[in-house]
Amino acid sequence: MCGICCVVTLCSQHAIHDFLSEDTLCHLRRRGPDSSQQLIKTVPDLSYECLFSGHVLHLRGLVTPQPLEDANNNIFLWNGEIFSGVHVGNLENDTEVMFRHLALCSSEVDILSLFSSLQGPWSFIYYEAARHSLWFGRDYFGRRSLLWQFSNEADSAFCLTSVSGCSESGSQWQEVPASGIFKIDLKACATTKSLSLTLFPWKYSCREEAVEERRFNVLDQVAKDLPSHVHLMVNESKLCLRAPVIPLNKTVSKASGACSGSNSSNINCVVSVETLQEFLAEEHKKKLACRFIDVLNEAVKRRVLCLFRDPDQKTREFPSMSHKKAHIAVLFSGGIDSMVIAALADKHVPLEEPIDLLNVAFMMKKQAKHRGTTKRHTSHDVQLDLLCPQEGCQDGDTSTHLSSFDVPDRITGRAGLKELEAINPSRTWNFVEINVTLEELKKVRKERIKYLIYPLDTVLDDSIGCAIWFASRGEGFISNQGELKPYKSPAKVVLMGIGADEQLAGYSRHRVCFRKDGLEGLNKELEMELGRISSRNLGRDDRIIGDHGKEARFPFLDEDVVSFLNSLPVSEKADLTLPRGIGEKLILRLAAKELGLTASTVLPKRAVQFGSRIAKLESNSEKASDTCSRLKLLSVDEL
């Protein structure tokens, strides 16, 4: 994870530093605490100037300060990880490797070919000195944040940055669309005193006939959000990037399952681990589950091993627990996604190294604690009681104050911990109980989190963004010999389960879509889900987690995992004629059962905003899609 930033002025009356606020620099430094430096490139003959600012979080090879500049005056800023496609040695730094490859590119085709070959998350800014070209963009899924802001037409300036600060200019920041790679001809722009962007869009190599139509759809989509004085065009050569995944298989076949017969009989299937075992008795389903395990296992392996480990680094918190500190953490609810990721991480993280399970809870309102037996909550509470009986869930001396944090995700998290301990009792599993009060939530949101969520602004963004910020900070309590002791996770890599629901029909809206429009409608919904994940989730989550000097990694969005799932018809991945806890994400549940997991394999989807109890904490009248007043960068009392 790094913080990267570039400011470009075209004959502006203002100094270039005027376009980079101290707030933005502060946020960038938090993302990259290991090295910070700036470089200004002035081209007086052409009247343009560029400021490059790089802030490095050291994860691989030797610490490599950014921006990098070579003998030909090319300049490079990189915020990414290369997991495949371009070879990076165990002791090499991928920023240097990428810069070497870029320096060898002699044409646009070479540059596009290089980025098409990459597997892993990235955003970048590259100044190609000889051609006065500025290249930038995000990976296919938009797993790394990159924002842009354009000044008014008179100033002819713009800024690219991983994260913004408070905007004093009044110009809006927007996320750079993950639609392809952009190029700016700075020489031409400086000459005309106008700003033009050229887009090189993604395409599927096997669908040549659809390229032209898709090209202009993408162009229209990106152009509609740009200021009127900024021009966008697709490159004249019609060059494209090759998409790193295969297209979605939209074949529709009749869903089948262990509970055969009509849809109504399927709905009556028992939600139990034994039901999953019956599915696995089918050779085809078992083979698919094992293939899924293989590809997901490789994705997790890449993400836990591509990391610098100092052999002398030891934990100071509890020497008796482990002689090494944790390098890997999992955002952990005890649900199916995080359980599978943790179980697979266990196969590759060195045994003497702990794995931190980050479990966040927001203090429940007192009145809410007395509603546990109401009709609305009965079935849910019964399910949690079956999963983790009350006497087994509590740490003997848990205080009354801490019981206020026994939210659903805390209960399932403790139960999930027991499953993981049963799979590998030799591993030190640090179950980090992260407890957040309403007072702390309000304070930190106002001071920091709202700037990270920006430019997103809905109630849903607020709930999820705040929950992820506190969880990924990793400050809480762990149990040491029966006592809860303060602990702060030192792990720089945080694994997240995002992407599973979007690909495997995990959300309740997928059931609504399936009931209304069948498998055809469900296919369209899933294709749309993955297409919008960059703008809906990933940029925000990258900014949130990066604020702690940590890096988010997403195994379910590994290119090989997505291609494998895209190759299957939807009926092989989910069966929404089956009840919740079985039908959604069916292939993942079968894989979890194969891995030795038990009760967690049949837990239904519960979004983090509900499981952590942050939703409705402050207002019961809000809808998820409403604009959130708490995220306004300048509230009335601050003016």
pLDDT in tens, 281-324: 999 999 999 999 999 999 999 999 989 887 655 444 444 445 68
Neighbours of 547 (CB within 10 A): 21
Q: Could you give the number of structural domains in the chain? A: 2
State yes or no: pLDDT of 378 exceeds 90. Answer: no
* 32 and 97 co-located in one domain: yes
Domain that holds residue 72: 2-242
User: Residues 280, 393: one domain?
Assistant: yes
Q: Residue 256's pLDDT is what?
A: 40
Which one has a higher pLDDT value, 142 or 385?
142
Give yes or no for residue 496 having a pLDDT over 80.
yes
What does the buried/exposed string (b/e) look like for 96-115 if buried means 16 or more CB atoms within 10 Å of the residue's CB?
A: bbbbebbeebeebeebbebb
The rounded percent of the chain whose pLDDT value lies above 70 is 85
Both 23 and 79 in a single domain?
yes
Tens of pLDDT, residues 508-566: 999 999 999 999 999 999 999 999 999 999 999 999 999 999 999 999 999 999 999 99
Provide the annotated active-site residues: 2
Place of tokens 């994940």: 533
**CATH number where 176 lies:** 3.60.20.10
Alpha-carbon distances, residue 623 vs 247, 336, 616 (angstroms): 34, 26, 9
Asked if the structure places residue 464 within a domain, the reply is yes
Quick check: is 264 in a domain? no
Q: How far apart are CA 550 and CA 544, in angstroms?
A: 10
Domain membership of residue 254 (yes or no) is no
The answer on 277 and 221 residing in a single domain is no
**Residue 235 reports pLDDT greater than 80:** yes
Closest among 357, 359, 358, 354 to 326, alpha carbons compared: 354
Q: List the single range of 50-64, 98-112, 299-313, 367-381 with lowest mean pLDDT.
A: 367-381
At residue 635, the pLDDT reads 41
Q: Are residues 29 and 162 in the same domain?
A: yes
Residue 253 lies in a domain: no
Whether 132 and 65 map to the same domain: the answer is yes
CB atoms within 10 A of CB 277: 13
Question: pLDDT > 90: what percent of the chain?
Answer: 68
For residue 569, cis peptide bond before it (omega within 30 degrees of 0): no
Question: What are the beta bridge partners of residue 43?
Answer: 48
> Lowest mean pLDDT: which of 91-95, 320-324, 488-492?
320-324
* Distance from C-alpha of 332 to C-alpha of 360, rounded to nearest angstrom: 8
pLDDT over 70 at 356, yes or no: yes
The residue with greater pLDDT, 615 or 300, is 300
Q: Is the pLDDT of residue 386 over 50?
A: no
Flag whether pLDDT at 418 surpasses 90. Answer: yes
Residue type at position 297: N
CA nearest to 538, candidates 139, 50, 18, 115: 139
| Residue labelled with tokens 């995220």 | 631
Tokens 């009556």 appear where? 268
Q: pLDDT tens digits for 97-124? A: 999 999 999 999 999 999 999 999 999 9
The residues, any chain, with a CB within 8 Å of residue 351's CB and separated by 6 or more, are 426, 427
Asked if residue 502 is part of any domain, the answer here is: yes
Q: What is the CATH number of the domain that holds 494?
A: 3.40.50.620
β-bridge mates for residue 35, sequence order: 56
Beta bridge partners of 52: 6, 39
Residue 257 lies inside a defined structural domain of this protein: no
**What are the tens digits of pLDDT across the range 330-347?**
999 999 999 999 999 999
Domain shared by 359 and 435, yes or no: yes
**Pair (216, 315) in one structural domain:** no
Helix axis angle, 283-305 relative to 273-280, nearest 10°? 110
- Give the three-class secondary structure for 490: coil
Please check whether residues 402 and 549 belong to one and the same domain: yes
Please classify residue 639 by burial: count the beta carbons closer than 10 Å to its beta carbon, then call 0-12 exposed, 13-18 middle and 19+ buried. exposed
What is the C-alpha separation between 1 and 492, in angstroms, rounded?
A: 9
pLDDT bin (cut points 50, 70, 90) of residue 16 is confident
Q: Is residue 557 part of a domain?
A: yes
Whether 259 is in a domain gets the answer no
Alpha helices in 251-377 (DSSP H): 263-267, 273-280, 283-305, 336-345, 366-369
pLDDT at 457 > cutoff 80: yes
Tell me the three state secondary structure of residue 324: coil
Q: How confident is the model at residue 490 (pLDDT cuts 50, 70, 90)?
A: very high
Last residue of a domain, one of 223, 242, 261: 242
Q: Where are the beta strands (DSSP E) in 204-278?
A: 230-234, 241-242
210 in the same domain as 303? no
In this prediction the pTM is 0.90
227 shares a domain with 301: no
Residues 234 and 283 in one domain: no
Cα distances from 520 to residues 247, 278, 499, 528, 608, in angstroms, run 15, 27, 20, 13, 29
- Rounded to the nearest integer, the mean pLDDT of the chain is 87
Residue 334 CA to residue 492 CA, distance in Å, equals 21
